[in-house]
Chains A and B, each alone.
Chain A
Amino acid sequence: ILNVEQSPQSLHVQEGDSTNFTCSFPSSNFYALHWYRWETAKSPEALFVMTLNGDEKKKGRISATLNTKEGYSYLYIKGSQPEDSATYLCAQNGVSNYQLIWGAGTKLIIKP
């Protein structure tokens, strides 16, 4: 994998259901994987920064895991709420490189 790829591109989820989506990234020269949430008309907001293989981070109902050997990260949302509707972006940066390489995002729409 040469680029950061996210799937699916968009997702409709019923309120109360749990969901997850994927970020795939180059496993070579890896330093950190970032997850951001971007709500319409607001600033992208950092959710997690993960650096270690096997890392798992949690913030409320949202959690993320990291597999640096195979180059993927999962973002999980438990019990989706309407306020979770947003585009979720992941980005990767390499060692000694502060620049982020971004995926195209997963647009999540929660149906009441």
Chain B
Amino acid sequence: EAGVAQSPRYKIIEKRQSVAFWCNPISGHATLYWYQQILGQGPKLLIQFQNNGVVDDSQLPKDRFSAERLKGVDSTLKIQPAKLEDSAVYLCASSPWGAYEQYFGPGTRLTVT
């Protein structure tokens, strides 16, 4: 079974620029998560989708971050405009409906200069 795919793997941008990340979850997984992991901290949930609906986006900085999951499969996470403190690894994870275990992609390491 193919794992969770993410792209790009690395991205360097200047502050105030925009960036987008893409995630393709494991086929058939209804739930999709985006996490932000800042160096030295645990992953922080940004948004959780159930199929194409948002379950929780309470920690998503909505003034600059947006995410969508069209057709309940792939998802994109966008930052516009980026700030220095957005430098982090952005992880995408998916899980079957009703399951606790999450399956992760390799992440996108974002550096904002």
A residues in contact (CB < 8 Å) with B = 4, 9, 31-32, 34, 36, 41-46, 49, 89, 91, 93, 98-100, 102-105
Judging by beta carbons under 8 Å apart, are A43 and B43 in contact? no
User: B25: CB under 8 A from chain A?
Assistant: no
Nearest residue, chain A, Cβ from B95: A98
Bound-complex Cα distance A49 to B100 (A): 9
Nearest residue, chain B, Cβ from A42: B106
Judging by beta carbons under 8 Å apart, are A104 and B42 in contact? yes
Judging by beta carbons under 8 Å apart, are B101 and A34 in contact? yes
How many residues on the B side are at the interface (Cβ–Cβ under 8 A)?
23
- List, sorted by A's number, 9 A–B pairs whose CB atoms are closer than 8 Å: A4-B42, A34-B100, A36-B104, A43-B103, A44-B91, A45-B104, A89-B43, A98-B31, A104-B41
Bound-complex Cα distance A81 to B56 (A): 40
Bound-complex Cα distance A85 to B109 (A): 20
Judging by beta carbons under 8 Å apart, are A43 and B101 in contact? no
**Which are the 9 A-B pairs with shortest beta-carbon distances?**
A102-B42, A44-B104, A43-B104, A104-B42, A43-B106, A102-B43, A103-B42, A104-B41, A32-B100
